[in-house]
Amino acid sequence: MDFELTKEQSMIRKMVRDFAEDVIRPRAVEMDINAEFPQDIFEQMGELGLLGIPFPEKYGGSGGDTLSYAIAVEEIGRICGGTGLSYAAAVSLGASPIYYFGTEEQKEKYLTPLAQGKSLGAFGLTEPNAGSDAGGTKTTAVEDGNDYIINGEKCFITNASFAKTIIVTAVTGKNDSGKNIISAIIVPTDTEGVTITSNYDKMGVRASDTAEVVLENVRVPKENLLGDPQKGFKQFLYTLDGGRISIAALGLGIAQASLEKALEYAKERKQFNQPISNFQAIQFKLADMSMEVELARNMVYKSAWLKDQNKPFTKESAYAKLYATETAFRAANQAIQIHGGYGYMREYEVERYLRDAKLLEIGEGTSEIQRLVIARQLGC
């Protein structure tokens, strides 16, 4: 057992922390108010190699591991949940599937610019009537000569308005037992028939772009199909397993930020002639928060480590996602409580943490779905 980070991992933590403190922190409140996606910040993150951490150098990546990537998401999430969500979605959902399942040509053409941070990726799975139940996908991709013609509608797609490519899931046929075959297809956003609108007024993660994607007779070459045409569903389950680690890391970052703010405030705020951190009621809250943050961290890092060791991590990444995101919500809620009336005000930031954390219990598999995944792994 070795709980030490490597030198590279701790250098990455320091670099990302410094970057997030210097560049993102001064703008976090404004970006939340204006629901403004920080494109320039993503350009800088691209230049620093953050968008390519878990991909090899030959595809424009940095050759880091999943744990380094999780640490980077944690550090960005500690400062801004919205930026963290767009970052996690770009890497885990927009780029990773191409790395896992793409052909050599697809990796060169599509993964490289994503890993270099020259363009941003997105993943379109959710539809108005297919959320938790991805099997209910209605979007279709029909073969026509050398092309697919795609029709359908995707909703709540992170980064879509700023993406050059969206990986879209669509029904491509039926298997022998009559079930739909769902495949993932790379769709360049400038293809005719793709309409992207971003009109959602969100509760939280407001710095992140979320858009609706309508696909009307969108024609893409067959070679844009990702991976095995028969195993699309299995492939995106694997993609989501990986994505869970990053959402868990984001939850960890928000939980850590909540703890830090609450602790600092509790030591400064005086009521009844003493710092409120002298009161056992406050101390117990802080003790619980601190313990849960550390437990979440252990689970997040362990699931990243399992993935790096090529060991099964489906159950552990579900544990991590479920526990870290629910910890984030609880910690943010307690941070507001400890701040009293001030915590309810935007400028103290803890109310934003709560709004941001709420999304993490929904996106990339709701808490209920995580419990389902775990129960299935238990053999239920």
Active site members: 364
CB neighbour burial string for 291-313, b if at least 16 within 10 angstroms, e if fewer: ebbeebbebbbbbbbbbbeeeeb
Measured from the CB atom, is 106 or 208 closer to ligand FAD?
208
Measured from the CB atom, is 91 or 328 closer to another protein?
91
How far is the CA of 185 from the CAs of 107, 178, 323, in angstroms? 13, 21, 32
Binds 47, which of another protein, ligand FAD, none (CB < 5 to 8 A, cut-off by type)? another protein
Measured from the CB atom, is 81 or 113 closer to ligand FAD?
81
How far is the CA of 42 from the CAs of 38, 88, 120, 263, in angstroms? 7, 12, 9, 31
- Using rule CB under 8 A, residue 50 touches another protein: yes
- Using rule CB under 6 A, residue 359 touches ligand FAD: yes
7 to 36, contacts with another protein by CB under 8 A? 7-8, 10-12, 14-15, 18-19
230 to 269, contacts with ligand FAD by CB under 6 A? 269
53 to 82, contacts with another protein by CB under 8 A? 53, 57, 62-64
Q: Is the dihedral of CA 196, 199, 204, 206 positive or negative?
A: positive
- For residue 150, the surrounding DSSP H or E stretch is strand 147-158
Q: How far is 115 from 107, CA to CA, in rounded Å? A: 10
Binds 10, which of another protein, ligand FAD, none (CB < 5 to 8 A, cut-off by type)? another protein
Question: Phi, psi (5° rounding) for residue 175?
Answer: -90, -175
146 to 165, contacts with ligand FAD by CB under 6 A? 156-158
- Using rule CB under 6 A, residue 123 touches ligand FAD: yes
CA proximity to 78, closest of 285, 244, 297: 297
Q: In the structure encoding, which two tokens stand for residue 42, read together?
A: 């993503």
Measured from the CB atom, is 1 or 7 closer to another protein?
7
* Contact assessment for residue 293 and residue 255, using Cβ atoms and an 8 Å cutoff: yes
> Among 76-84, 202-210, 295-303, 347-355, which window interacts with ligand FAD (CB under 6 A)?
202-210
Residues that bind another protein (rule: CB under 8 A) add up to a total of: 19
- Using rule CB under 6 A, residue 318 touches ligand FAD: no
Contacts with ligand FAD by CB under 6 A lie at 89, 93, 123-126, 131-132, 156-158, 202, 205, 210, 269, 271-272, 276, 279, 281-282, 337-338, 340-342, 344, 359, 362-364, 366, 368-369, 372
